[in-house]
Structure 1
Amino acid sequence: MINKKQSTVEAIYPLSYMQQGLLIHHLSSELDQGFLNTECTLTGDFDLTLFQESCAFIVNRHDVLRSTIHWRNLEKPLHVFHKSKEIEIEYLDWIEASSTEKKTSWDKLKEDAYKNGAKLETGALLRITIAKISNSQFKMLWPMHHILLDGWSGSIIIKDLFSVYNSLYFKKTPQLDTLPNYKAYLKWTNELPEEDAKVFWKDYLKDYKTPLLFSSNIITTDKVETTISNTFNLFEKETNQIKDYCKENKITVNTLIQCIWSLVLAKFFNTKDVVHGTTVSGRAGDFPNIDLLAGMFMNVQPVRSKIDENMTFSNWFQNMQKLHFEARKFEYLSLETLYEYINWSENSTLFDSLVVFENYPALKAENNILEVSDIKSGLTSTYPVTLAVLPGIETKFVLTTSSKYVDSDMALWLINSLKKVLELITIKEITKYSVLIKSIDDFKKSGSEQIDKNNSVISDAYIAPKNNTELQLLQIWESLLGINQISTKANFFELGGKSLVAVKMFTLINRKFKTKLSATALLEHPTIEKLSNYISSDSKTESWKYVIPIKSKGDKNPLFCVHGGGGYVIFFNPLSNALNDDIPVYALQPAGLNNDSTMHDSIEKMALDYAKEIKEVQPNGPYNILTYCFSPAVGIEIANIFKEKGERTNLIVIDSIIKQEDFTDPERIKMRIYGFLNRVLKNPINAVKLMTINNYRRFLEPMVIKLFASSSKKNLDKITRNLVKIYINYGWYKNHTDDVLLILTEKADKKLNPTYIKSWEGITNGNVEVRYTTGKHHELFNSPHIESIANHIENSIYKK
């Protein structure tokens, strides 16, 4: 902990939303995207002593240079401002070195700075290196970190530094404008009325429900994430053409670039409604001299583009610009707060591509004894796709993409399409979207395999949640990461979790569990299991034995799928993928499957245990229970348990009949004999073969398994025989008191389905709704039949 009385601490503040994300990334990633090597060339009369005095003046002027970041053993990370700090200046004389040696040494200097990283806890802005190249030319390297300074602030500090140097050189007192007070600025922003921002963002993002994200598909599961950069330059002539186009259409170059990037995304995702992010200075408003204050004020705002095919680009650009200017009034607003305003709870982010249009304060000053030129600081971004635009006499475009989500073919398509759209609109003067879209080639995926996050388990072995805390964490993780069936032992960062996602995740966790945990806790507890243990360390959490989450995310009432006669539940996985994303799916597996509990000796006892765990997942009804093969009896018993508590149950029956093993009913006997004779007449060889297989499985296979099978196979056979036994012994003395959705296959024997329907009508007090699907009984949970079943369930149960 930091003891204010024993230190030179001047002030302590919590980290902003952006800073929290950058801290998580700094601590968790091998590639620290927040670290920057800012470099520039100095031409003129350089005096080391004067430079040291100038730096001391600037460190005293700008509080952020004296600040540090702390998180160890703290409930929440803190930004600490100190009363005094000294800056370290290294001076290197390379005047005698060759050009090649100078370049090699300079590159080595930057590489070493990057390897050493940012010392956030002691001061990440307190080291500058000056290299003397010639008697009148020097190079300056200033390592910094984005968590403390944004690009605008770096420009402010460099401008002030050499303004002070100039004054001291001419033996004058530096004359700089008074800086605003940081604490007063924070107080001012916190007291701004929320209503205007709420109204604007709710209207701006109204009806935008499903974000289109590059991170929806993982290209590679490599743990080390790399970046790819593609660039192109517009020469002076082309740059002037763009400026002329913008002037003629009364828009800024920034507006044009934002709109053109939207058009590229619209083509890529095949839509006319897209959202991307853009960086803003975070300094909007009428707070005095806010543009002079240095720190991490940069923010990210969503840019939504709804393309109107009937509108000319000129009119569309102008309309978009009005909205951009309106949004700038709320630059101070964090994405976290914005998400709360629009109730964005189902997804981690609205966008995962970012446009950075560099528009920093000019550094040129007249009559300075040292001229500052060739400033470079690089680009920091934790987004999968980032487009940086560097305007000037020439305009440079840099597209940086993550290898995890964007392969080289996709990156090239994006950068080439951007260049082409820019040319078609500003030079070829295409004015309508309908014409433009036909002039851009579709992106064609390469043969490389993509891993669909929505359908894949990104883990070598899926471990299901074993208690309610793990389930609630799983629901948050699935919602934020967009992945189904996350193992409780899967690592958040290896699943593609980003720093800002981690910050949002802990906002949800603290709200759900009424805790005050920092997102840095994820570094020590990066799995659901470890995080659950950390959260539940002071409370007893009972584990589940029967409930297995297949897809926990979604705001609709869950679908609970009861195992069939074999005890397996994995075959329900295709159903969870076929159903809408807002429908959670859970399976119920029998006792003893993992050799960890005694098997049930009756359907009634089984249903009691299942109902108890279903209640833990979903405290209140109505309940949706799906049964298949041997499990309808369990579903009826569960429904009756809930009925006694005054709650309704929708029973969904997949191609199953009650009393399946009943050989005493005359109608059933006739049906079986008729079916057998019909099969013999049509194909006697297949009929005999099928009969032989069935008899083998019924009578001989148990003996073979008992003598020769593995212990796991023996255990599964034991469970299967127990399930059949308790099913046969079930008395069928209770009716299902609510409705039944009966989904049947079309069968060769036309008498079978009426018999199925009659059996359910005889035991159901409510309505029996019958739907038909394709496929044979044992194929129903495979595509394309499962899509039909999912459609029936959605229409009959969830759309009523």
Structure 2
Amino acid sequence: MSAVEYSLADIWAQALKLKTVEAEDNFFNLGGHSLLALSVIEQIKLRLGWIISLSTFIQYPTIRELVTNASQPTAANSERLLIRMSKRGRLKPIVFVPAIGGMIFSYTKLARHLSANRSCYALQSPALIGQSVPETISLLAALYIETLVSELGTNDFHLVGWSYGGLVAFEMMRQLGTGANRKLVLIDSFLRPEKRTLPDEEVIFKAFVDDLLSQFGMQADMPEGISRPQALQALAARLFGAHANNGDAQSFEFIERMYHAYLANLQAMMAYQCGAADVSAALLFPTESNDTVAHWRDRVDNLEVIDLQGDHYSLLNDKNAAQIATATAAYLDQPAFVEQRADAGLQL
């Protein structure tokens, strides 16, 4: 390996807690994720003076690809709402809409399975790039649509949303209207028709921590009565590594941004009241819930329900991502096939 490749391998090995990393190893296959990638990107900047974007890092996930294809890196992606996860193939692109925390890391493994013959993009929360978050789902959907049409030059794409991301994706489809063969994939998205009262901030912050850690398969075990600064420090250490405990202001700042996104999105979700829409959608749902299915059927004219095995946070892990990708691709590209399997009670 070159000197730069050796330096990158050392940075990766430290971040991933591995003894060695080879030039052809895929960062995400080694256990990396988008949050950890942000920490690696910062270390690359500090040690090599090399500024790269998260989208570039995702696009070139091996050291060899990164050095070969991104030798003239540009400014970091942190000023962009739309991140390109892959660009290949001629099939209609997929756009992933972020869940309540606003980050794209939940979709990294799913995108890898879906990107063989189509481009994949992901939106992130405005809060993560230092912008204000729209107060309602309707306004957030409008902002995302404007961003997509401006950057992609088209409104011809499919939308995929997990959890809260499904609500925003549905509202985007509703605003886009008919006239294109767009489809929506809802992954374990709950629709609650009644307005709810926002809990106090202590409860919200604990829910934020639990949600964030659960997405990485970590136990949400913050001690009771822990102060906010202590919780942030412990959370940063678990997500970014021990160096985050040594005054790593960037890690703390980014977690604060994620919390701001979570809080703003929670407020918007609590107030969201949606009507029916003339859209085609698939609801990939891991548990039997007649109420949830009925709520979506009341609002989606053409809804396919596909049963899944797994819980809310395990759906997008390594094992289940491949199965969800298969069902998603079948629905987007072979609707007749999906209808047949769905009617038969498909179990993934």
With normalisation by structure 1, the TM-score equals 0.30
Distance in 1 between residues matched to 2:268 and 2:225, nearest whole Å: 17
Which gives a bigger RCO, structure 1 or 2 (Cα 8 Å, sep 6+)? 2
Deviations, residues 249-285 of structure 1 (Å, cap 9, x unaligned): xxxxxxxxxxxxxxxxxxxxxxxxxxxxxxxxxxxxx
Paired residue for 1:731? 273
Larger relative helix fraction: 2
Contact 2:92 2:119 in 1 (8 A): yes
SS in 2 for 1:636: helix
SS in 1 for 2:83: strand
Paired residue for 2:180? 647
Structure 1 residue 726, shift from structure 2 partner:
1.1
Cα distance change, pair 580–563 in 1 and its aligned pair in 2 (3 A): closer
SS in 2 for 1:722: helix
Distance in 1 between residues matched to 2:270 and 2:168, nearest whole Å: 12
Contact 2:159 2:169 in 1 (8 A): yes
Distance in 1 between residues matched to 2:230 and 2:23, nearest whole Å: 44
Structure 1 residue 484, shift from structure 2 partner:
5.0
Paired residue for 2:60? 486
Cα distance change, pair 493–653 in 1 and its aligned pair in 2 (3 A): closer
Deviations, residues 347-388 of structure 1 (Å, cap 9, x unaligned): xxxxxxxxxxxxxxxxxxxxxxxxxxxxxxxxxxxxxxxxxx
Paired residue for 1:629? 163
Structure 1 residue 624, shift from structure 2 partner:
0.8
Contact 1:453 1:484 in 2 (8 A): no
Distance in 2 between residues matched to 1:776 and 1:699, nearest whole Å: 18
Cα distance change, pair 221–633 in 1 and its aligned pair in 2 (3 A): farther
Paired residue for 1:601? 135
Paired residue for 2:248? none
The number of aligned residues is 266
Contact 2:23 2:63 in 1 (8 A): no
Deviations, residues 578-597 of structure 1 (Å, cap 9, x unaligned): 22411222111111213x21
Larger relative strand fraction: 1
Which aligned pairs between 1:43-54 and structure 2 lie closer than 5 A? none
Question: Does the alignment pair 1:718 with 2:260?
Answer: yes
Which aligned pairs between 1:187-266 and structure 2 lie closer than 5 A? 223=4
Paired residue for 1:451? 24
Deviations, residues 586-643 of structure 1 (Å, cap 9, x unaligned): 111111213x212211212211110012113433344211112122331122112321
Q: Name which of 74, 86, 91 aligns with 1:529.
A: 74
Distance in 2 between residues matched to 1:550 and 1:762, nearest whole Å: 33
Question: Does the alignment pair 1:555 with 2:103?
Answer: no
Which aligned pairs between 1:366-765 and structure 2 lie closer than 5 A? 451-452=24-25, 460-461=40-41, 463-464=53-54, 484-486=58-60, 495-496=67-68, 526-529=71-74, 545-594=80-129, 596-643=130-177, 646-659=179-192, 697-698=206-207, 704-705=227-228, 709=232, 710-732=252-274, 734-745=275-286, 747=287, 750=288, 752=289, 754-765=290-301
Amino acid at match of 2:101: G
Structure 1 residue 653, shift from structure 2 partner:
0.4
Deviations, residues 649-678 of structure 1 (Å, cap 9, x unaligned): 3111001221287569xxxxxxxxxxxxxx
SS in 2 for 1:632: helix
Cα distance change, pair 698–577 in 1 and its aligned pair in 2 (3 A): closer
SS in 2 for 1:584: strand
Cα distance change, pair 794–761 in 1 and its aligned pair in 2 (3 A): same
Distance in 2 between residues matched to 1:699 and 1:555, nearest whole Å: 38
Contact 1:655 1:743 in 2 (8 A): yes
Distance in 1 between residues matched to 2:59 and 2:157, nearest whole Å: 22
RMSD, aligned α-carbons: 4.0
Cα distance change, pair 616–556 in 1 and its aligned pair in 2 (3 A): farther
Contact 2:167 2:189 in 1 (8 A): no
Structure 2: tracts of 5 or more residues without a match: 7-19, 42-51, 210-223, 233-251, 336-348
Higher Cα radius of gyration: 1
Amino acid at match of 1:705: R
Structure 1 residue 731, shift from structure 2 partner:
2.1
Identity among equivalent positions (%) equals 16
With normalisation by structure 2, the TM-score equals 0.64
Distance in 2 between residues matched to 1:569 and 1:448, nearest whole Å: 25
Distance in 2 between residues matched to 1:553 and 1:562, nearest whole Å: 20
Structure 1 residue 574, shift from structure 2 partner:
0.4
Distance in 1 between residues matched to 2:331 and 2:208, nearest whole Å: 40
Distance in 2 between residues matched to 1:631 and 1:702, nearest whole Å: 31
Distance in 2 between residues matched to 1:607 and 1:224, nearest whole Å: 41
